[in-house]
Structure 1
Amino acid sequence: MGAGHSHVPGDSSLGPAPHRVRVVVALVVGPLVLATLVGLWVLWPTGDLEITTPGADVQRGTAKVEALVPCARDSDGCRAAEVELLSGPGAPGTDRAILPYGPGAPQVEVGDRIIVSYVGDSPDGERYAFQDFDRGPPLLTLTVLFAVGVLLLSRWRGIGSLVSLAATLVLIAVFTLPAIMAGSSPLLVAIVTASASMVVTLYLSHGFTVRTTVAMLGTLVSLVLIGGIGWVFTTVVRFTGQVDEGSQYIATIAAQVDLRGLLLAGLVIGALGVLDDVTVTQTWAVWELADVDPEATARGLFVRAMRIGRSHVASTVNTLVLAYVGATLPLMLVFSALQLPFGIAVSQEVVAQEVVRGLVGGLGIIAAVPVTTAVAALVAGVLVRERGAAQRAPSHRA
């Protein structure tokens, strides 16, 4: 393999990272991985959490509507259905289920797959009740289409992306949610979750390379900034965290959960995906610029890559803020119908939370671009010099 052409896969043709760069990377990544593992060990929930509240012990399953039948109860408008039980108590088998009725009730038709709750024996013989539609099959179809699309575009690299996504979802299910329910600090749990997800996602999706590590460092710095600013402003604006039915229900059944910390946890985890996109793009941009310019300097790489970064920030921040605006659009319509002044409407906690999320996340993105670009330019500048020295070496020997 000729001089200047051997390189780590995924690091373009800049050549392998010098020994001192690899040492610095190891000194940075090693403690981060160790701290993440320690955090997982310390915060990992132990034992089952006992929750006693109405509805906590209700058994549920899935069923298919075979026929609509008259309701046995003496109530105007009551509806029922003969259902084939597919899972849950009584499955497999057939039984009757009460359907929702009244103004605004969902319309259930023959052939629909529904989720039913088991209400036990009743005088009218209807032991099940409709809870919701079973959306599992269409969601599974959409998931398969998504996976196929990722694989068609990204090929083998897409496999790593899908595996990392699955690992993140499993981590949230088995660690993040139980740890928060057990009473651990939601912010600390979110930081450990984000750190573990970041390491797994970036390295599986983009390979164990120096530039992947640079992207990870930029993401880490931005997450710390988001956590800090988020903590300050959720305290200053006096958020309670009890703004919707979900948070109010959690406050009732699990008083040990810090709802304001839960808001911070959602902010950190929600920003991680956007930050990954920004830091990876910036790092790859620096590497590509260095790859085509054998005389590139760290300063020159930083200046040129920042031109790309400014455009990226403008579009990404807009996307992030609009996503949070969309989440509160129905509520904003209510405020509009009530003709509340804009300042008062925005000051409502349910809206103000989305404002804080959007602006704090935007600040994290703004910080991620120069930080990541600067680190990437410094490292790429070293690799450019090493490549130049390797290419000049044969002529010197001659």
Structure 2
Amino acid sequence: MKKTPDKPKLLQLPKLPPLKKEASTIIVLVVSAVIFVVALFVAHSGEAKDTGSLFWVYGTETIDFEAATVNEIVGEDMALDEATEGSYSGSQELAVTIDTGTYAGKQLTAYNYFGAISGSPVEVGDGVTLTVKTHPNGDVSTTVYEINRIPFLIGFLILFFIVVVLVGGLTGLQSLIGLAFTCVCLFAILIPMLLKGAPTIPTTFVMCAYISLVCFTILGGVHRKTVGAFLGTVAGTFLAMVFGLGAQFLGKIDGLRLEDVEPLYQLAVYEGIPIGMEGLLVASIIICALGAVMDVAMSIASALEEIHAANPKLTQKELFKSGMNVGRDMAGTMTNTLILAFLGSELTLMIFLYARDLSFYHLFSTAFVSLETIAGLSSSIGMILAIPLTALISSMLITRGSKEEQSRK
């Protein structure tokens, strides 16, 4: 019997073992750091455009804002404002010592003008922020801009950090790191890029996706739970953006109708700042939705991980149902949170509109009502749809990961 020749064996690459959680986490954080540095460079590269001062300055006069301490109240003329609860209107002549800037250590006379809705009377020992105007002949005139609340705000921020760490422990500390990273990304990268003319909506969405990736990695490393939460967050935020774009198109309203857009419009017209104001409505929807969607996605992914750990025999379908049950309990309260956050930020305007006793068509035809409705509902829809998406993605990752672990054993 003839021996059949052996078939030549194909060259096969050895199977690489899966990366450990710690190694994957380090890789993601290193790549994210590189992206951060590159984005920071792009955001601040090129010639910075001079946007001028917030205040008009004529001739060779210069205006600075410096911290000072009230040494003495030389004179005051004020009266109780009857329309408000204990507020005063009037003026004060103060002897102050400037604490910062060119004139630090000098004692000057400052004037404090205040009313019921602007400024407030001060006392000896109070810290204030001064508007220091230097005239062409060298004379200096100072007025009180506001009470210096920076020390109070720093103390309040420290209290917040302490409470978060005491209650949350290591997880609380990690969340604070994520919060700090989010603020840096928004203020040091996103806003400068928008001011340089980057497309408003795509840039905001990509930045929010990047923020969620880094925050989830800091919070839980690269794990099935965090991967599922990240993918669910990106999907939910994307849907909020899509519904915001659709509502903006159908409602024939955009970011140019936002309440505080006029100063940006002035910068665009008179200073040539190329910011895309039309997309600011949807950009605000993306940012507002991000926090709620991250919360929901992480809660569902964590719950499914715990459920699977307690009963590893559950199928993907059963895990998905469990995730939906958890998500339904969260949907109502989180929707209230988003809507109340939008309405609470405009409480003063709502009281004013109610007091004017506007007709139905008058009230609901205002840009304010349309903008708040679009923003609140689009964010809520994105958050609600993130529930089944996160449940589906997490259940798939958990069951597939469990099968791979069993096969390796």
TM-score class, shorter-chain normalisation, is: 0.7 to 0.9
Residue in structure 1 matched with residue 379 of structure 2 by the alignment: 361
In the alignment, the residues of structure 1 paired with residue 243 and residue 360 of structure 2 have an alpha-carbon distance, to the nearest angstrom, of 25
Deviations 1:155-178 (A, max 9, x none): 222222211211111122211111
Deviation at 1:202, TM superposition (A): 0.8
Residue in structure 2 matched with residue 303 of structure 1 by the alignment: 321
1:133 maps onto 2:147 in alignment = yes
Deviations 1:231-276 (A, max 9, x none): 2222332335345674211211234222221222222112111111
Residue in structure 1 matched with residue 295 of structure 2 by the alignment: 277
In the alignment, the residues of structure 2 paired with residue 287 and residue 275 of structure 1 have an alpha-carbon distance, to the nearest angstrom, of 18
8 Å Cα contact 2:259-2:368 kept in structure 1: no
Deviation at 1:388, TM superposition (A): 5.7
Q: SS in structure 2 opposite 1:91?
A: coil
In the alignment, the residues of structure 1 paired with residue 126 and residue 258 of structure 2 have an alpha-carbon distance, to the nearest angstrom, of 30
Deviation at 1:194, TM superposition (A): 0.7
Q: SS in structure 1 opposite 2:55?
A: coil
In the alignment, the residues of structure 2 paired with residue 386 and residue 191 of structure 1 have an alpha-carbon distance, to the nearest angstrom, of 33
What TM-score do the two structures reach when normalised by structure 2? 0.80
Identity %: 23
Q: What RMSD over aligned residues (CA atoms) do the two structures have, in Å? A: 3.2
| Worse-matched range after superposition: 307-316 or 166-175 | 166-175
In the alignment, the residues of structure 2 paired with residue 21 and residue 362 of structure 1 have an alpha-carbon distance, to the nearest angstrom, of 36
Q: Which has the higher contact order (CA 8 A, sep 6+)?
A: 1
8 Å Cα contact 1:36-1:192 kept in structure 2: no
Q: After the TM superposition, which segments of 4 or more aligned residues of structure 1 sit over 6 Å from their partners? A: 32-39
Residue in structure 1 matched with residue 39 of structure 2 by the alignment: 40
Cα 1:143/1:344, change in 2 over 3 Å: same
8 Å Cα contact 1:60-1:117 kept in structure 2: yes
Cα 1:326/1:346, change in 2 over 3 Å: farther
| Worse-matched range after superposition: 227-236 or 371-380 | 227-236
Could you tell me which amino acid in structure 1 is paired with residue 355 of structure 2?
A
Deviation at 1:363, TM superposition (A): 0.5
8 Å Cα contact 1:52-1:253 kept in structure 2: no
In the alignment, the residues of structure 1 paired with residue 354 and residue 313 of structure 2 have an alpha-carbon distance, to the nearest angstrom, of 58
Deviations 1:121-166 (A, max 9, x none): 499x761122222221121112111111221122222222211211
In the alignment, the residues of structure 1 paired with residue 116 and residue 302 of structure 2 have an alpha-carbon distance, to the nearest angstrom, of 55
In the alignment, the residues of structure 2 paired with residue 235 and residue 88 of structure 1 have an alpha-carbon distance, to the nearest angstrom, of 50
Cα 1:148/1:233, change in 2 over 3 Å: same
Structure 2 runs not aligned, ≥5 long: 1-16, 57-61, 77-88
Structure 1 runs not aligned, ≥5 long: 1-17, 394-398
8 Å Cα contact 2:132-2:140 kept in structure 1: no
Cα 1:78/1:152, change in 2 over 3 Å: closer
Deviation at 1:66, TM superposition (A): 2.0
Deviation at 1:341, TM superposition (A): 2.5
1:52 maps onto 2:52 in alignment = yes
What TM-score do the two structures reach when normalised by structure 1? 0.82
Residue in structure 1 matched with residue 200 of structure 2 by the alignment: 186
Deviation at 1:188, TM superposition (A): 2.5
* Mapping of residues 311-326 of structure 1, within 5 Å: 311-326=329-344
8 Å Cα contact 1:120-1:127 kept in structure 2: yes
Residue in structure 2 matched with residue 147 of structure 1 by the alignment: 161
8 Å Cα contact 2:114-2:121 kept in structure 1: no
8 Å Cα contact 2:99-2:105 kept in structure 1: yes
How many aligned positions are there? Answer: 365
Residue in structure 1 matched with residue 214 of structure 2 by the alignment: 200
Q: Which has the larger radius of gyration?
A: 2
- Match of residue 374, structure 1, among 364, 369, 392: 392
Cα 1:261/1:285, change in 2 over 3 Å: same
| Worse-matched range after superposition: 51-60 or 368-377 | 51-60
Cα 1:77/1:44, change in 2 over 3 Å: closer
Residue in structure 2 matched with residue 176 of structure 1 by the alignment: 190
Could you tell me which amino acid in structure 1 is paired with residue 343 of structure 2?
V
